[in-house]
Chains A and B, each alone.
Chain A
Amino acid sequence: MIGLGRYFKLIRMLFKFALMRQMAYRAHFFLMITGKVVRMALLLFFFQAIFLKVDRLGAWNYDQVLLLFATFHLVDYLMSITFQRNLAFRLPQRIQTGELDTRMVLPVNLLFMVSLEELDLMDFFSSIPAVAFLVYVLDRIGFAFSWGQALAYLTLMANAILFLFSVVLIISATSFWTVQSHGVSRVFDNLMKIGRYPLDIFEGFWKVVFAYLLPLVLIAQVPSQALLANLTPGFAAFGCLVTLGFLVFALFLWKRGLENYMSASS
């Protein structure tokens, strides 16, 4: 418990440092938040524009698509506030420059440190309207869900974060062997955006890819379906198992990478 308390204290300190660092340029800080909120609003207009022309996207009506959209953005924000940039862009840089050495000697778990070292508080503050939007969407669907469905929703959102953490770690851990991992991270960053759409409207090859091979359905569709009671327990369990598989592989790659790490500094 003492160990856990230390990590909470560390998170509090990281939050404080991030706030000090990012508030150094106040106008820039607030403009970035504005930009992110505007981007979300414009994407919302995009969905509105689609629904001006069609009634449904596959089996999904407008409100359900909004729930999917809000869920995706919340998961996306949780990821970008915490580990995304740290693992995808900063870790490869630290491996290449040998800066990772200085983190290795700290008396904390190395993966914890490199994942959360620089919290993104711009995204933290930008996520507040996203939470408000989710509440608005829940109101639109009339809060028509049970406690069990809500619990499944939250659990599967946590599963989504863990899944994304694993994928991002797998990509960034390859930087122990190659110098191009951040390019792949950028590609994945764009690819995962497909998770904001209902992926069951795809057919054939792409349906198999997004449901099973690279199950981006786990990001927002599966949690949303759980809240709407449109998800079979079997697929929910499958989703959790897939995440576990990705996580085990990611941790394995991370460990092998560390064994392989020889530091670049003098």
Chain B
Amino acid sequence: MRKLWFVFKLTWLERLAYRVNFFMEILSGVMSSLILVLLWMAIYRSAGREVIGGFSIEEMVTYLLGGGLINSFILTTAENPETSQSIQDGSLSNMLVKPMNPYWIWFVRDLSMKSFYLVLGFLGYTVVFFFFRQYLTPVASAVHLGYLVLSLVFAALLQFFLFEFMSLLAFWVENTYGIRFVMRVVMEVAGGAIIPLSFFPGVLQQVFLALPFPFLIYLPMRIYLGKIPLESISWELVKEALWIGGLVVLNRMVWKRGIRQYVAMGD
């Protein structure tokens, strides 16, 4: 446990060394959210309506900015490139001789990066939150807040295991970036990062809801806004936990099979 804590701390220190670059990355995300908020404000104004698709302007702004913040710490770290890089360039061999399971190192590094981006995200979004403060709606209730925190923890885990699975495919394919890129593209839209999924046509909505992505942003933001009955939240979290459990098992299988046939060239 102590070793993993060191990994966590070291990852933070690494990130801090390039903090301006990472802050710029967050700023890009903030910019995207800002653009979406401005767009939706203009849409509400030009439509001359108080509510569109069941969302008031305040709920929409809160949804987009909250979604943007979640995006900044969950989706920014989305691609887990370290795992596939280590497998491809053979640096995994180095990790295998260390007294720690590489899988746990990647896991802790990912959590550390997420926490780092969360802090940076808060810094970046605070200004935007202040700018749009009259539009922001508070969390529905204290119980909702508790569920929200739980759903964010689950979202972070789900995202890691999803992309870790893709990265572990590097044991068999030469380059996994393409697979992870497609996944990330689908995740951004199907996760509800740019628009609440209830806005999509029926069939598309059903397809998206059958995937694990809506648990990443759509569910946490619906919980925050109180747009999901309290009694349904637990069931949604159970479904998410089942996805996580399934992915953990799958990752374990892939890792075991992959490591058995892993070969690294060296001099």
Contact = CB atoms under 8 A, between A and B. Distances in A.
A187 B186 contact: no
A4 interface: no
Interface stretch (B2-10, B92-100, B170-178, B225-233): B170-178
Contacts of A46: 189, 194-195
Interface string A48-65: 111011111110000000
Nearest to A50: B43
Contacts of B188: 42
A53 B189 contact: no
Contacts of B175: 25, 27-28
A38 B186 contact: yes
Contacts, number: 116
A248 interface: no
A32 B181 CA distance: 7
Per DSSP, chain A at the interface is helix
A28 B42 contact: no
A187 B28 contact: yes
A30 B173 CA distance: 14
A140 interface: no
Per DSSP, chain B at the interface is helix
Contacts of A182: 21
Interface residues of A, number: 42
A29 interface: yes
B24 A186 contact: yes
B204 interface: yes
A180 to B, nearest CB: 6
Interface in A172-222: 180, 182-184, 186-187, 189-191, 193-194, 197, 201-203, 206
Interface of B: 20-21, 23-25, 27-29, 31-32, 35, 38-39, 42-43, 45-47, 49, 52-53, 173-175, 177-179, 181-182, 184-186, 188-190, 194-195, 199-201, 204
